Amino acid sequence: MAFWSSTSVFTSKVPRKILFMFTLSLSVTYLFYSLMSCYNSLQFPLQENYVYQGRLVTEETTFVTLREKLYSASQGFTEFTEAERTTSVSILQEHAEAEQRTVEWIRTQASPTKTAAAAAAAYRTTALEREHQEFSTTDSELRVNCTSDYGEKKLPQAIIIGVKKGGTRALLEALRVHPDVRAVGNEPHFFDRNYEKGLDWYRDLMPSTLEGQITMEKTPSYFVTNHAPKRIHSMARDIKLIIVVRNPVTRAISDYTQTLSKKPEIPTFEVLAFKNRTLGLIDASWSALRIGIYALHLESWMQYFPLSQMHFVSGERLIVDPAGEMAKVQDFLGLKRIVTDKHFYFNKTKGFPCLKKPEDSSTPRCLGKSKGRTHPKIDPDVIRRLHKFYKPFNMMFYQMTGQNFEWELEEDSETRSSQD
């Protein structure tokens, strides 16, 4: 009975219409703010939610206080003073105005007009300025290199520096299958042709990377460029260098084949390879032959980088066992072994592996027409003399790298086949 008596006293003091309007207002307001909270969390960054949520909590606290007062009144308040009733009415009016402002604000944010865009931009700018005042240590540097497609443009942490016609393109394409590798498709030629453009220009060529991803590029001519080791070392002393090497005789013929496809009028391979064929004098100044003196070029790189920062890939094994070579490269770069034999398919027509996705049943993706060209027929005597020319340099290269690439076995097999 005490409960009903207190309730009747309360309802007599406060008209039922006011109570109904008050309760309805609370419900509608709570619904609007809930919708605003969801909309705001989707529309703006996290730091903006904090500003909005702080205001929301303050107003919800007021609602809780009023609910507690009403609940306490229903449990035994005998009086609800005129001042309290006036305060309640004023609060209702304030929240009604707040609801109206809320509706207008939502309409403004959802509108595709220029005014809405300008308002949103102004709001974001203000929030960013506040954040910049609080966290101004490195934000300016990050914004310079950050891009709209997520991530940050960085200077490369690994470079494939050589060698031309050794298999660098095949290696790069296989590495790009790895989710933690981002690489430039074209050869930047920064350290040999475009160095005067500066590191900012070079960085801008790189793809954006996320945390944990490696930025890479490949320019095979770096390996034979005299000033490239010093320039790369000045950029990053701890950079990782990858060199794909191939039997220098086969590499020279492949190099000549590429040039011949572009300039059919050039002399024959035999003419270019010798200063005097009768005397057997090899023309080592010819770039196709000079590139294959690997020991000579490696000596320049070892003046700036230890062998622990270099990895040598066998161009021959990259063809016959691409997964095995890729496992070593991934280990060298500190990557998980994701690129495996499931990613390769040997193309008998081209004579080298093609890439495919393990879950994809479509045709494997092979390198372009410029790869796997048929070599011109070279006089076996010329090939034998070139093997003899390269042999001491190969031995020196094996000793410097601690790896035996067994190119002499190819020479022996070619000799036996020619005798047969």
Residues involved in catalysis:
165
Residue 375 annotated in ligand binding: yes
The torsion angles phi and psi of 347, rounded to 5 degrees, stand at: -95, 110
Following DSSP, what letter does each residue of 165-222 receive, concatenated?
TSSHHHHHHHHTTSTTEEE-SS---TTTTSGGG-HHHHHHHSPEE-TT-EEEEE-GGG
Query: Cα(99)–Cα(93) distance, rounded to whole angstroms?
Result: 10
160 within 8 A of 168, measured Cβ to Cβ? yes
Residue 246 annotated in ligand binding: yes
Sheet of 181-183, strands arranged across: 181-183, 214-218, 158-162, 240-245, 310-314
Cis peptide bond prior to 163, omega within 30° of 0: yes
Which residues 6+ apart lie within 8 Å of 62 measured at CB? 91
225 exposed, middle or buried (CB, 10 Å; 0-12, 13-18, 19+)?
Answer: buried
Residue 54 annotated in ligand binding: no
Which amino acid, residue 201?
Answer: W
Query: Cα(103)–Cα(93) distance, rounded to whole angstroms?
Result: 15
Residue 372 annotated in ligand binding: yes
Residue 101 annotated in ligand binding: no
Beta strands 240-245; 158-162: pairing state: parallel
Residue 373 annotated in ligand binding: yes
The shares of helix, strand and coil residues in the chain, as percent rounded to the nearest 5, are 60, 10, 30
CB atoms inside a 10 Å sphere around CB 239:
16
Residue 203 annotated in ligand binding: no
Which residues 6+ apart lie within 8 Å of 327 measured at CB? 337, 340
Residue 165 annotated in ligand binding: yes
Binding-site members are: 165-169, 246, 254, 371-375
Binding-site members for 3'-phosphoadenylyl sulfate are: 165-169, 246, 254, 371-375
